[in-house]
Amino acid sequence: MANVVTSSDDYQFWRDEKLANVQTDIENCLIEVKKPTQLSKAEKNKIAHLCRVNNFALFSTPAQQDYESSIVSFNQQFGLKAFDQHLYVKGQGLAHITQSDQQDQAEFIPYTDRAIGWHTDGYYNAPEDRIRAFSLFCVNPAQQGGENQWIDPQMAYLLLREENPDITTALTHAQAMSIPAHKVDGQIRRKTSIGSIFFMDEMTSQLYMRYTQRKKNIDFYDSDEIKQAVEILDQFLASNTPYHFTHTMTANQGLLCNNVLHKRSTFVDQQDTPRLMLRGRYFNRVQSEL
């Protein structure tokens, strides 16, 4: 199996393929679908192709009667079925990302109007619960703000490695980033998570990224190389390359992706229709062969 992290031949082959196929124009990444519950072959192929070369596709649908089941059915057509049993996931596996007035839920930033820094989803999960794909669908946009930014983490790796391979070597250290256990009243809700920031995911033989930009409750391995590499990574994310995408989803638009690095800006809700996003998280990648 190819290993782009450890073999320089594999890396070079992978890099050339990646650069030859990558899309930088967001217009080319947005696919209009007529019926999300029953995609045409052409729609499906376009979306699968984008997810293969760019690790994401944007899509738009007509208004739906039942958004939840339409999106579940859309995702299933890309082989996305095994969903993460996240704390606030509802019946069919989608979380409703909206401002919550429930005390316990409002402790988590996604359920507030606050900004969220760069991260991949489930960065704190155990390896057996690794999130390889997620979908985010906009039912109601905010009145103002709620912009998303994202970048394919494989492109981030490629660009950093081209800049200086020492950076990516440091970020592949087996203990580069640790997240302490989450305890509530002395009981462990989630175990300590220790691992690399970039690594080869054994199940898919794909380069994977596990990262959060927040620094509170995150420990980076105590070495100058790793601390510097994390700083360079953060500077890179804050910069603007042709591979950084910025978009505020309008109603009936969605993002389907292989867990790209993403962030969200702060927002202001419309009074009667608060911003509502439906999010699905999956253990497998978007199926590329259909």
Task: Name the residues that contact Fe ion, by CB under 5 A.
Answer: 121
The least CB distance from residue 47 to Fe ion, in Å, is: 20
Say if residues 288 and 56 touch (Cβ distance below 8 Å).
Answer: no
The residue whose Cβ lies closest to Fe ion is: 121
Nearer residue to Fe ion within complex by CB, 26 or 109: 109
Of 183, 176, 274, 167, which Cα lies nearest the Cα of 229?
167
Nearer residue to Fe ion within complex by CB, 135 or 252: 135
Q: What's the rounded Cα separation, in Å, for the pair 6 and 200?
A: 9
The least CB distance from residue 135 to Fe ion, in Å, is: 11
Nearer residue to Fe ion within complex by CB, 43 or 121: 121
Helix, coil or strand: residue 112: coil
The least CB distance from residue 271 to Fe ion, in Å, is: 26
Which DSSP category does 55 fall into? Answer: S
The least CB distance from residue 140 to Fe ion, in Å, is: 18
Residue type, 24: T
Nearer residue to Fe ion within complex by CB, 68 or 121: 121
Nearer residue to Fe ion within complex by CB, 121 or 269: 121
User: How far out from the chain centre does Cα 77 lie?
Assistant: 19
Instruction: Please report, for residues 75, 164, 217, 235, 246, the alpha-carbon distance to residue 232 in angstroms, rounded to integers and kept in the order given.
Output: 35, 10, 20, 5, 21
The least CB distance from residue 119 to Fe ion, in Å, is: 6
